Amino acid sequence: MINQAKQLPITESIVYFVISIFVNALGNALTVSLNLGSALWTASSVNVTQFTGIPLDVMLFAFGVAVVIINTLIIHKIEWHRILGNLIFMVPFSYLIGLITQLLLSFGINELPLTVRIILDLVGICFISMGISIYQRVNLILHPCDDLMQIIRFRFFKGNATIAQLLTFAPPIVIVILCWIEQQHVYAINIGTIFALIFQGTLVGVFDKSVFPTLKHQHLHNASGDMKSLNLSGHTQVRN
C-alpha cells in the first residue's frame, strides 16, 4: 500500500534541502580529506584523468552532463527545469565540499591514527547517504547521479534503494575496470569506495525511515507514474 500525502510548503522544503546539502558536503569532505577512497563516480573520473590527462574538474563535469543525458533518455522527455537543476547543483556543491575539505585539513585530520581515520571515512559515507536520502525526498534539485538513482529506484524497482544504487554504480565500475586494463593500475579506490559500493544504497533506504521519518518523497510523477509523494513509514511498497 502506498500512502498519498500533500506536498511540503516551499519554505519547509528549502530547510530540509539546506540541511541535506551540508550533511552530504561534510560526508564528501571527510572522504576527500582522509584520502581513504573516493566515491565511485569520483574514482572513475580520477582514473580517466590519469589515463587521458584531462583535468579532473572537467571530467567530473563531463560525467555529470553524460548522466543528465542518460536521465533524459530514461524518462523519455526533455525537462529543462530538471536539467538546469542538475547543472546548478554540481557547481556550488563542489565548491562547498572544497571549503569544508580545506577546513578539515587545517585541523590536521590526516594526522589522526589510522583506525580513527578509517572510522571517520565510514562515517563520511554514512553522511553522504543521509544527505542523499533527505534531498531525494525533498526532490527540489538533485545531483545528476542521485537523480539517476532516484529515477531507477521508483520507475523500475518500487523504491528499492539498494538495487537502484548498485545499478547506478555500474557505469563507473565499468570505467574503472577499463582504465585498469589499459593502465594496469587503479586510482582513488580504497576502503571508503568499497564500503560505499556495498552499503550506500541500503543506508539511503535506512535513513529514509530513520532521519526525518515524516518527510515523504515529493514530486515523483516524473520517475514513477502519477505519484506525487510517498510515505515511507508504515507498510508501503518502498524497500531498502
Q: How would DSSP label each residue in 29-93?
A: HHHHHHTS---HHHHHHHHHHHHH---HHHHHHHHHHHHHHHHHHHHTS--HHHHHHHHHHHHHH
The cell numbers describing 229, all together, are 509523494
Confidence of residue 3 (pLDDT cuts 50, 70, 90): very low
- Residue 229 has phi, psi (to 5 degrees) of -160, 155
8 A C-beta contact, residue 134 and residue 14: no
Is the pLDDT at 97 greater than 70, yes or no? Answer: yes
Q: What average pLDDT does this structure show over 140-161?
A: 94
Structural element, H or E, at residue 99: helix 80-106
- DSSP 8-state class, residue 229: E
pLDDT at 227 over 80: no
pLDDT value at residue 221: 65
pLDDT at 219: 79
CA angle in degrees (0–180, nearest 5) for 10-11-15: 115
- The pLDDT tens digits for 32-72 are 889 898 789 888 988 998 899 998 888 888 999 999 999 99
Q: Are 129 and 61 in contact (CB under 8 A)?
A: no
For every residue of 176-204, DSSP letters joined together read HHHHHHHHS---S-SHHHHHHHHHHHHHH
Residue 229 pLDDT grade (very low, low, confident, very high; cuts 50, 70, 90): very low
Q: Which pLDDT score, from 0 to 100, does residue 166 have?
A: 94
Could you give the CA distance from residue 188 to residue 49 in angstroms, rounded to a whole number?
11
**What gap in Å lies between CA 57 and CA 64, rounded to an integer?**
11
Evaluate whether 209 touches 233 at the Cβ level (below 8 Å).
yes
In percent, the amount of the chain with pLDDT more than 90 equals 68
Q: Residue 149's pLDDT is what?
A: 95
**Domain residue limits, the chain:** 10-230
CA angle 108, 112, 114 (to 5 degrees): 140
- Residue 162: is its pLDDT beyond 60? yes
For 90-94, 140-144, 165-169, which range has the lowest pLDDT when averaged over its residues? 90-94
Q: Which residue type occupies 72?
A: T
Q: Tens of pLDDT along 178-210? A: 999 999 999 889 999 999 999 999 999 999 999
Q: What is the pTM of this model?
A: 0.86
Would you place residue 30 in the very low, low, confident or very high pLDDT band (cuts 50, 70, 90)?
Answer: very high
* pLDDT class of 6 with cuts at 50, 70, 90: low
